[in-house]
Chains A and B, each alone.
Chain A
Amino acid sequence: MTHKCLIAGSGGQGIMLIGKILAHSGMREGKHVMFLPSYGSEMRGGTANCSVILSDEEIDAPVIDQPTCLIAMNAPSFDKFEQKLAPKGIVIVNSSMVVRKAEREDLFIAGVPANELAREIEAERVANMIMLGTLIAATQCVTLESVMESLEELLPPHRHHLLPSNQKALEAGMKLVKKS
């Protein structure tokens, strides 16, 4: 099984963190993993995306032609990548930012009002964790336990008091899939 994930949004939305957590979690589960940021001259507010591959097999090409799953944190990301997805790909769309419907009919689309939900839980900055929660529930690519362990490792100790609200955000995102 190979998950080819594309995570896209704008700088400052925590795109790279989602990618790093996914790769870390996959490594913890003994998978072959790769994280590659799309690297341009963009800064906060510009477009940002990264690709993560999680696989039971050795990863050769570091390029993703057809992602099997996509997190679209904003409208331009959804516009840019919808047509690139593999057949029957999984899309987690931030419906707080994306209003249009999907053009393709074969995709599994989960609309997540991530900004609103995040404000209810803590603040908008956990919106990325809600999206990640929905992704791992929809794809089963890694477990919540691995994600929490990775977060603990990636966050510096003086930020560890934020772990519970991040877990809440992840669980809120996961619940959306169980319902649908």
Chain B
Amino acid sequence: MVEKQLIKGSEAIAEAAIRNGCKYFFGYPITPQNEIPEYMAKRLPELGGTFLQGESEIAAIYMVLGASAAGARVMTSSSSPGISLKQGGISYLSGSELPCVIVNIMRGGPGLGAIQGAQPDYWQATRGGGHGDYRLLVLAPATVQEAVDLTFEAFDLADKYRNPVMILGDGVLAQIMEPVTIPEAKAWQENHPWAVGKQHHRERNMICASYPDVEILEKVNQKLHMKYDEIRRSEVRWESFRLEDAKYVLVAYGTAARIAKAAVKTAREKGIKAGLMRPISVWPFPQQPFIDLIPQAKFFLSVELCTGQMIDDVRLATGNARPVYHFGRLGGVLPLPEEIVDRLEQLIKEES
């Protein structure tokens, strides 16, 4: 058995990426995720890879685009304001169907905000983020172990769909230390048949996201959307906790889900039939599990570290069948499980 190691979330993300063949990292520093580039700066040169701090986030994301177009396994990471700056490049990556992994360690916003754990970038992450009608596959780990597992897998998913994959975390996930098992390093060969350049065995490839002919561009968009539909069918992930007989369904992802899980345990001790539905893929959103919960649920309570964004997806999934409420603390303040239970009890009272 592989021994567990105590490791910080951000370093665990970096090591998991390396173990699955990531050899190139381009970024620009910003707290609370600087341990990711720091770790990459130390490790990648040892492995014959490249770490490069760009002159800005914008430069860094286009370096990612270049490396990906050349067929490399590549990653970037940042925190909310930096991710906003990268959006143009992410749109080009998506339009060019280039795989890469992008880590967003969210902070409170808007503007520069603050570095403590918050979740105000859900809309940005799950609606593409930049211009154009595209989607990212977005995975939201709640623990350091899950951050390791999802980051490792993210590279394979990015290649499988030729699409950027985002790891959506926050300051708690990046800074917390927990015992984890990191998978053994996997051999990965750069041999994408679509990569740019002319090689002796094939014709010259071009990568582009520019289609001046509207007829062609419409077809490109249709093709992209067939791919997104395939991702919707195949890559939905979630975890349920005590939902078997739950009448009150808490919904939360990432750090908020950890606190909501503790709240469910407290509520159960009080005899309240609460359960937790935790989306792991926030895009694609796990719609069907919500539909399946409608007959037993009295209401849904979306617990988010923002004013309520995922609540839209819960409403889209459940329609008007059941009330959907929100509870959240903002700006980096973490709610206590008891606060969530208080809100739950208050809602139960109002509903009856």
Contact = CB atoms under 8 A, between A and B. Distances in A.
Interface of B: 4, 6, 31-32, 115-116, 171-172, 175-179, 255, 258-259, 261-263, 265, 334-338
A42 B265 CA distance: 35
Nearest to A153: B6
Contacts of A41: 115
Nearest to A154: B6
B261 A60 contact: yes
Contacts of B263: 61
Contacts of B116: 39
A61 B261 contact: yes
Contact of B32 (A24, A33, A39): A39
A62 interface: yes
B177 A34 contact: yes
A62 B177 contact: no
B259 A61 contact: yes
Contacts of B4: 27
Given A24-B6, A39-B115, A39-B171, A63 B176 contact: no
A35 B6 contact: yes
B338 A62 contact: no
Nearest to A57: B265
A120 interface: no
A124 B263 CA distance: 42
B259 A20 contact: no
Interface string A24-43: 10010000011111011100
25 contacts: A20-B177, A27-B4, A27-B6, A27-B179, A34-B176, A34-B177, A35-B177, A35-B178, A36-B175, A36-B176, A39-B31, A39-B32, A39-B116, A39-B175, A40-B115, A41-B115, A60-B261, A60-B262, A61-B258, A61-B337, A62-B176, A62-B334, A63-B334, A63-B336, A63-B337
Contact of A34 (B171, B178, B265, B334): B178
A101 B32 CA distance: 37
Nearest to B263: A61
The 5 A-B pairs with the shortest beta carbon distances in the complex, nearest first, are: A60-B262, A61-B262, A35-B177, A60-B261, A61-B259
Q: Which of A27, A35, A41, A60 has the most CB of B within 10 A?
A: A60
B338 A23 contact: no
B137 to A, nearest CB: 26
Interface in A64-87: 65
A11 to B, nearest CB: 16
Contacts of B335: 63
B255 A62 contact: yes
B145 to A, nearest CB: 11
B211 to A, nearest CB: 45
A44 B265 CA distance: 39
B261 A35 contact: no
A27 B178 CA distance: 9
A33 B179 contact: yes
A148 to B, nearest CB: 16
A65 B336 CA distance: 7
Given A34-B178, A41-B115, 19 more contacts: A20-B6, A27-B179, A33-B179, A35-B6, A37-B175, A39-B31, A39-B116, A39-B175, A40-B115, A59-B178, A60-B259, A60-B261, A61-B258, A61-B261, A61-B336, A61-B337, A63-B334, A63-B335, A65-B337
Q: Which of A33, A34, A63 has the most CB of B within 10 A?
A: A63
Contacts of A61: 258-259, 261-263, 336-337
A60 B6 contact: no
A166 B32 CA distance: 31
Contacts of B31: 39
Contacts of B32: 39
Contacts of A24: 6
Q: Which of B4, B31, B176, B258 has the most CB of A within 10 A?
A: B176
A33 B6 contact: yes
A23 B6 contact: yes
Contacts of A37: 175
B176 A65 contact: no
B176 A35 contact: yes
Contacts of B176: 34-36, 62
A101 B6 CA distance: 37
Contacts of A35: 6, 176-178
A40 B258 CA distance: 22
